[in-house]
Chains A and B, each alone.
Chain A
Amino acid sequence: MRSLLRRTGKEGSLANNGSGSSLFGFALSLPPLLLVLGFVGIPILIGFTFSLGFTKGPNRVIAIIGQQIHPKTHWWGTFAAYSDVFHDSRFVGDLVLTLAVTAISTVLVIVIALAIALHQRLVGGRTASVLATLSIVPLFVPVVISAWAIHTFYGGDGFMRSFFANIGINFPTLTSTSTAIVIGSVWTSLPFSILMISSGVQAVPDALIESAKDCGASTLKVISTVVVPLAQTPIIIAGSFTAIGIMGSFTIPLFLGPNQPTMLGVEISNFFGSYNRPQQSLVMAFIVFLAASGIAVLYIWSNVKSAKENGRI
């Protein structure tokens, strides 16, 4: 993390001090690049052509097995499967739910992670380090296990309801609600964000915080004008990774979410497996992919912006 923040222009100039060495560098990175292209890029391309109704070649078998396949009607294909999906109120509900859960969970994750990181940085002490250590624990718990734990905790016959029933309060059943997806998503995404953000916040030198205080800034001002801007890059990395992860999540919504609407990860699987509609399933996948790319672009843009501000580019 430190290197992400402190990277200077010098490294950049190292990489392109002559076209010969830059060509060599490119050649070095070629094998993994080709590997990614071969094992990820080509399947994506094939999938995309199938969503457009290219039912020949590598798509031949799936086109025979699948139902409600729309073969292409133009030389470039057809949007029939896309139109199917967008006219399906089920999909629209899923999309709204997916985006809402993603946005709410991401904001919660970043706020909680930032709060823990800031507390650790500015107040410190035992409780802070205990809290920070505890918050990493979910990283070591497999998602299925934690989903199940959350299920038994918030379920109809779960701990919360039993506990509150004893004191005469009817605690709501949270399982099979979108709230449970948010709880599960926050639980699983928090550790990574805390690691990312707290290392970023930790890397802000004491003197930069002290000089702001010396200038009369309150703690809140120090946070908003110095610490957060300086930790901007890790915060954005954490945010975009979290959002992309939650948007495509499967286990958590499958275990904890409602049947209808559900998150697209689950719906894609339903369409592919249960309903045997691979083309529509792929269309949904591409829509999620598009949204995730949007977040990725945001991420790159902010990186470039902060690099420019710090004089790295």
Chain B
Amino acid sequence: MKNVEANMGLELRGLKKILGGRVIIENLDLSMAKGEMISLLGPSGCGKTTTLRMIAGFLIPDAGTVKVAGKDVTNLGPEKRPSAMVFQNYALWPHMTVSRNVAYPLKIKGLGKIETAEKVEAALGLVNLLHHQDSRPGRISGGEQQRVALARALVQEPDVLLLDEPLSNLDAKLREKVREDIRELQRRLGITTVIVTHDQEEALSISDRVAVMNAGKIEQFSNPQDLYRHPATEYVATFIGALNRFEGNLVEGRIVSGSDVIGIRPEDLILSSQQNDDALPGTVELVIPRGHFFEVVIRREDGIFKAFTNEFIPAVGENVFVKIKKSLRYQNGKLVG
């Protein structure tokens, strides 16, 4: 028992939150190991920020418990919790220099001058910002401000690091770099991290596990491969990656009318110019180059299919044979095969 507790990063049990008379979060459970990095992924308004704010202490849950490193913190305010948050707009104080921003939590803790200076320097070193120590936040770029916010969180040596869409204000290129930097730092420091995002690529590429949220509930909490290959619900299947979705059943490689929902990943469709077992003929309607692969839209008699291919690239109007290699079957939204 003791060991389990020591290894615990964060545990949410039966969390519930009502805001503005509406149930925003309903009976949410989630537990993660120490040193793990997870994402809360979901569409806008599904309750990601609300969940994160309950972990940080800005919102007190209406029911349920929040445990950080084995300690119940449910009724503590944010100033008493061992968590540190990186806000979406960085929330740096414009009247303080970069190093005073980072030093702030240490000053509040009453740390000595010398120790504070050392820790601030170390934190700014981690995010490569030593040269901006004396700049005002308003004078540095968005990416740099983001790193200051990260340094201010890291300097607190929190038990849990919380990031609310930390990359959404950065341009695409920078976003990719910064997210790798965050992941690298997180691994190196072994810091338990929760990152909120609505960008699935971001979630899948930097987290150990991803909690896919929908309407205040976690649909599936699993590692990226699992989420993609075995989406537990129809919602997850459509939310993560591309999917051909049909209402009906799959019989001998053909969609027939029925009560199930069939999901097929575009890369699970095999195209060829020759008839082979289970392959059905269709006409190519569209070919879209997508960089390292092509997206091909084919009309079969049982439906329109989107396939990803990089071996056999047909031409528009050509007749091809399409074989379904793998499919997902859902009943009432749940995976059954």
B104–A225 CB distance below 8 A? yes
Q: Check if B293 is an interface residue, CB within 8 A of chain A.
A: no
Of B78, B105, B108, the contact of A210 (CB 8 Å cutoff): B78
Which residue in chain B gives the minimum CB-CB distance to A209? B91
Q: Check if A214 is an interface residue, CB within 8 A of chain B.
A: yes
B94–A310 CB distance below 8 A? yes
Give chain B residues whose Cβ lies under 8 Å from the Cβ of A216: 79-80, 105, 108-109, 156
Q: Check if A217 is an interface residue, CB within 8 A of chain B.
A: yes
Among B58, B93, B156: residue with most chain A CB under 10 A: B93
The docked-state distance in angstroms from the alpha carbon of A217 to that of B107 is: 9
Q: Check if B95 is an interface residue, CB within 8 A of chain A.
A: yes
B78–A213 CB distance below 8 A? yes
Which residue in chain A gives the minimum CB-CB distance to B85? A214
The docked-state distance in angstroms from the alpha carbon of A256 to that of B60 is: 52
Which residue in chain A gives the minimum CB-CB distance to B139? A311
> For chain B residues 77-103, which have a beta carbon within 8 Å of chain A?
77-80, 83-85, 87-89, 91-95
The docked-state distance in angstroms from the alpha carbon of A306 to that of B89 is: 22
Given the known inter-chain contacts A208-B93, A230-B95, A310-B94, please indicate yes or no for A215 contacting B87, CB distance below 8 A.
no
Contact with B along A226-246 (1 / 0, CB 8 A): 100110100000000000000
> For chain A residues 198-227, which have a beta carbon within 8 Å of chain B?
205, 207-208, 210-218, 221, 225-226
Given the known inter-chain contacts A210-B78, A215-B156, please indicate yes or no for A221 contacting B91, CB distance below 8 A.
no
> For chain A residues 277-313, which have a beta carbon within 8 Å of chain B?
306, 309-311
Q: Check if B265 is an interface residue, CB within 8 A of chain A.
A: no
Give chain A residues whose Cβ lies under 8 Å from the Cβ of B138: 8, 310-311
Give chain B residues whose Cβ lies under 8 Å from the Cβ of A217: 79, 104, 108
Q: Check if B152 is an interface residue, CB within 8 A of chain A.
A: yes
Give chain B residues whose Cβ lies under 8 Å from the Cβ of A218: 79
Q: Check if B300 is an interface residue, CB within 8 A of chain A.
A: no
Contact with A along B45-89 (1 / 0, CB 8 A): 000000000001110000000000000000001111001110111
A211–B139 CB distance below 8 A? no
The docked-state distance in angstroms from the alpha carbon of A214 to that of B84 is: 6
B265 to chain A, nearest CB (A): 39
B105–A215 CB distance below 8 A? yes
Among A216, A221, A230: residue with most chain B CB under 10 A: A216
The docked-state distance in angstroms from the alpha carbon of A213 to that of B83 is: 11
Give chain B residues whose Cβ lies under 8 Å from the Cβ of A310: 94-95, 136, 138
A229–B95 CB distance below 8 A? yes
B contact residues, total (Cβ < 8 Å): 27
Which residue in chain A gives the minimum CB-CB distance to B152? A215
The docked-state distance in angstroms from the alpha carbon of A258 to that of B205 is: 78
Given the known inter-chain contacts A207-B89, A221-B108, A311-B138, please indicate yes or no for A214 contacting B95, CB distance below 8 A.
no
Give chain B residues whose Cβ lies under 8 Å from the Cβ of A311: 136, 138-139
Given the known inter-chain contacts A207-B87, A310-B138, A311-B136, please indicate yes or no for A214 contacting B78, CB distance below 8 A.
yes
A215–B108 CB distance below 8 A? yes
Give chain A residues whose Cβ lies under 8 Å from the Cβ of B56: 214
Among B56, B85, B109: residue with most chain A CB under 10 A: B85
Among A8, A212, A226, A230: residue with most chain B CB under 10 A: A212
A110 to chain B, nearest CB (A): 19
The docked-state distance in angstroms from the alpha carbon of A223 to that of B84 is: 20
Give chain A residues whose Cβ lies under 8 Å from the Cβ of B83: 214
A226 to chain B, nearest CB (A): 6
Which residue in chain B gives the minimum CB-CB distance to A219? B79
A309–B79 CB distance below 8 A? no
The docked-state distance in angstroms from the alpha carbon of A230 to that of B88 is: 20
A211–B79 CB distance below 8 A? no
Give chain B residues whose Cβ lies under 8 Å from the Cβ of A226: 93
Which residue in chain B gives the minimum CB-CB distance to A225? B104
Give chain A residues whose Cβ lies under 8 Å from the Cβ of B77: 213
B87–A210 CB distance below 8 A? yes
Give chain A residues whose Cβ lies under 8 Å from the Cβ of B80: 216
A201 to chain B, nearest CB (A): 14
Give chain A residues whose Cβ lies under 8 Å from the Cβ of B136: 309-311
> For chain B residues 115-141, which have a beta carbon within 8 Å of chain A?
136, 138-139
Give chain B residues whose Cβ lies under 8 Å from the Cβ of A225: 104
Contact with A along B167-207 (1 / 0, CB 8 A): 00000000000000000000000000000000000000000
Starting from the known contacts A207-B87, A215-B104, 9 additional A-B residue pairs (CB-CB under 8 Å) come to: A210-B78, A210-B85, A211-B87, A212-B93, A213-B78, A214-B83, A215-B108, A216-B108, A309-B95
In the A-B complex, the 3 residue pairs with the closest CB atoms: A215-B105, A207-B91, A211-B91
Chain B interface (Cβ < 8 Å from any Cβ of A): 56-58, 77-80, 83-85, 87-89, 91-95, 104-105, 108-109, 136, 138-139, 152, 156
Q: List 29 A-B contacts (CB under 8 A).
A: A8-B138, A205-B91, A208-B93, A210-B85, A210-B91, A211-B92, A212-B93, A212-B104, A213-B77, A214-B57, A214-B83, A215-B79, A215-B84, A215-B108, A215-B152, A215-B156, A216-B80, A216-B105, A217-B79, A217-B104, A217-B108, A229-B95, A230-B95, A306-B95, A309-B95, A310-B94, A310-B95, A310-B136, A311-B136
